[in-house]
Structure 1
Amino acid sequence: MSRTEQLTVALLAVPRVIPLDFSIPVHLLGGQAGYRVLVCGDERDAAAGITPTHPLADVPEADIVIVPGYEEPEAPLPEEYLDAIRRSADRGGRVVAICTGTFALAQAGILDEREATTHWRFLASLRERYPLVRVIENQLFVEHGKILTSAGAGAGIDACLHLIRTDFGEAAAHEAGKDVVAAPARDGAQPQYVDVLTSPRANLSATRSWVMEHIGDPITVQRMAERSNLPRRTFIRRFELETGMSPMRWVVSHRILSARRLLETSDWPIERIAAATGFGTAANFRASFRREVGTTPTTYRRTHSVNGRTPEGLTPDPR
């Protein structure tokens, strides 16, 4: 989208709201010039320190509706909140749930036959109460069409950064993440938790840092295993436990991340970006970028570059 546009975000002050879950989108999205955040609800339901500034009637007109987590999610919410969520989904707006806010979406009926997640403590309850929902376990967030559901508060940060990245680009998400000291580019498929504890000495962060420093070089699983002083199969198993991704999937995701930042902030030609981020040829880069991001590098640059247009001297990508 153009950086001059402003999207309206309706944040629901639902009964029994969890203040931390409520504060995350207020801080992250409220800090973005491209968002106008409205706190919508009924004053009679207001939690301590949270006062609605707009009525529920304004919710369906918002571009994005966010339902924060709330206590006792098995207990139903008032019908006026559910109706506002339904009407927003019906008109094609994006709907986001943080933590137990997923229960409100399920209660409203907009998650039927859709994939969704919530905090791991409530997954069994969600599955039992709403059998038509395709519950996804142990992921930070799940995006199905225009509906985004996430796990606990930490995953709510990831979900909000994902919104910023989608609307305003990787550089904007990176700056927002720095503001809250959040790890950059955590993929939704990463696990909420790991059942197997790993000692600090077994942590593979040094190997991942090495990959980031050499993102433009040829990188293989075997090479990463050797740097970790581990057999290949042991390395793969530990890497997946720590990141929730296979080693090469993680590498590709960070190559795409680096490419996005260069497209947004530099005037480098596509060939130079392809080489700098390890994709080799421009053709391979274009194919990988389209597959991962859903658009061409030049279209992405035109939408998300700092000056909002294709830099001079660069030819638009016809593909």
Structure 2
Amino acid sequence: MLTVAILALPDVYPLDLSIPAHVLGTQPGYAVEVVRELKPADVVVVPGYENPETAPAAEHLDALREAHARGSRITAICTGTFALAFAGLLDGRDATTHWRYLELLRALRPSVKVLENRLFVEDGTLLTSAGGGAGIDACLHLIRTDFGAAAAHEAGREVVASPARDGAEPQYIDVLSPMRADLTAVRSWAMAHLGEAITVDQLAMRSNLGRRTFIRHFERETGYSPMRWVTMQRVLSARRLLETSDWPVDRIAAATGFGTGSNFRSVFRREVGATPSGYRKAYLGTLGEAMSGA
């Protein structure tokens, strides 16, 4: 059982507090507690709070430094990023926050490498995210890291949110697109046909847009090129099958659109950092440890 401490700083945003309490609190394997004084925990979550230009109390900053030194993973939602920055934990590291506060973060802590228009950014054991919905994405990322893609998928269904949004996806779209550029239906079609051959021309035709216009709108909506996005969805689908089925690698390769087992192994290793068989073995070993400690 992994312990999770959600630190409610003064003037905490209720939404930012409720998101991790609900998403993580309904996940088996997590023991979640909302605290005002930080205690040792495997995972620490710092929700956003008002007046981020003012540093939190010294005891809170010290507690965050001690948690980091102990090896706790720390996740910040929205302006919670500022607490990590004031504690010095983000110096020289990549981080993000709600788009409205990016320039303030840069001004107050120039040593932080502030990344714009990202849902969340992970640097070592530190995870920073934008506000609202991005907090859900960050929590689902934690679940995916600790319990696998299938668990994140189920958690996403529970809160009616997509479990597949990557941190590099944009918080917002700078350019207003015509209504026909909403490519949700095209992405849904691709998800339902991952096991088949999918091409950019095929997707563009289904969107009723020209190839170049389709690619431009797709990248604006998702932050990725069409085929890069398809590859990510295939890898995620393969991870779920490796976790939840006893299918051989060649069958999973065919079902998720990788074709041959050799191609699947090559792409999966590049994207995940492990072979399919190695990933399955590691997942089952972690699951067994979690069940024995429950």
TM-fit CA distance, 1:93: 1.6
TM-score w.r.t. length of structure 2: 0.93
**Per-residue CA shift, 1:13-72, capped at 9, x if unaligned?**
11111111011111111111211112222xxxxxxxxxxxxx43x2xx311111100000
Within-5 A mapping of 1:184-223: 184-223=163-202
User: 2:112 is matched with which residue: 133, 156, 161?
Assistant: 133
TM-fit CA distance, 1:288: 1.4
| 2:68 matches 1:92 | no
| 2:13 matches 1:18 | yes
- Matching residue's letter, 1:64: V
User: 1:292 is matched with which residue: 271, 275, 288?
Assistant: 271
TM-fit CA distance, 1:306: 11
SS in 1 for 2:45: strand
User: 2:258 is matched with which residue: 279, 289, 297?
Assistant: 279
Within-5 A mapping of 1:37-186: 37-41=32-36, 55-56=37-38, 58=39, 61-186=40-165
Within-5 A mapping of 1:236-255: 236-255=215-234
**Per-residue CA shift, 1:270-291, capped at 9, x if unaligned?**
0110111111221221221122
SS in 2 for 1:65: strand
SS in 2 for 1:257: helix
SS in 2 for 1:192: coil
- Matching residue's letter, 2:102: L
Measured in 1, the distance between the counterparts of 2:239 and 2:48 equals 32
Structure 1 pair 147/33, CA: closer, same or farther in 2 (3 Å)? same
Measured in 2, the distance between the counterparts of 1:28 and 1:213 equals 26
Measured in 1, the distance between the counterparts of 2:44 and 2:107 equals 25
Unaligned residue ranges in structure 2 (runs of 5+): 289-294
SS in 2 for 1:163: helix
TM-fit CA distance, 1:308: 4.4
Pick which of 256-265 and 66-75 moved more. Answer: 256-265
Measured in 1, the distance between the counterparts of 2:190 and 2:2 equals 36
Measured in 2, the distance between the counterparts of 1:307 and 1:130 equals 38
Q: Percent identity?
A: 66
TM-fit CA distance, 1:307: 10
Match of 1:232 in 2: 211
TM-fit CA distance, 1:199: 3.3
Measured in 2, the distance between the counterparts of 1:207 and 1:38 equals 40
TM-fit CA distance, 1:305: 5.0
Measured in 2, the distance between the counterparts of 1:95 and 1:252 equals 29
Measured in 2, the distance between the counterparts of 1:209 and 1:18 equals 33
| 2:36 matches 1:35 | no
Measured in 1, the distance between the counterparts of 2:188 and 2:156 equals 18
TM-fit CA distance, 1:297: 1.5
SS in 2 for 1:238: helix
Greater percentage in helix: 2
SS in 2 for 1:216: coil
**Per-residue CA shift, 1:199-246, capped at 9, x if unaligned?**
333322222122112211222222222232322211110101111111
Structure 1 pair 208/20, CA: closer, same or farther in 2 (3 Å)? same
- The answer as to whether partners of 2:147 and 2:287 remain within 8 angstroms in 1 is no
TM-score w.r.t. length of structure 1: 0.86
- The answer as to whether partners of 1:141 and 1:155 remain within 8 angstroms in 2 is yes
Match of 1:47 in 2: none
Measured in 2, the distance between the counterparts of 1:204 and 1:24 equals 27
For this pair of structures, how many residues does the alignment match? 288
- Matching residue's letter, 1:68: P
SS in 1 for 2:106: helix
TM-fit CA distance, 1:158: 0.3
Measured in 2, the distance between the counterparts of 1:289 and 1:8 equals 31
Measured in 2, the distance between the counterparts of 1:125 and 1:10 equals 27
SS in 2 for 1:74: coil
- The answer as to whether partners of 2:98 and 2:130 remain within 8 angstroms in 1 is yes
**Per-residue CA shift, 1:129-174, capped at 9, x if unaligned?**
1000000000100011111000011100000000001101111111
Measured in 1, the distance between the counterparts of 2:273 and 2:75 equals 21
Match of 1:3 in 2: none
Pick which of 31-40 and 125-134 moved more. Answer: 31-40
SS in 2 for 1:132: coil
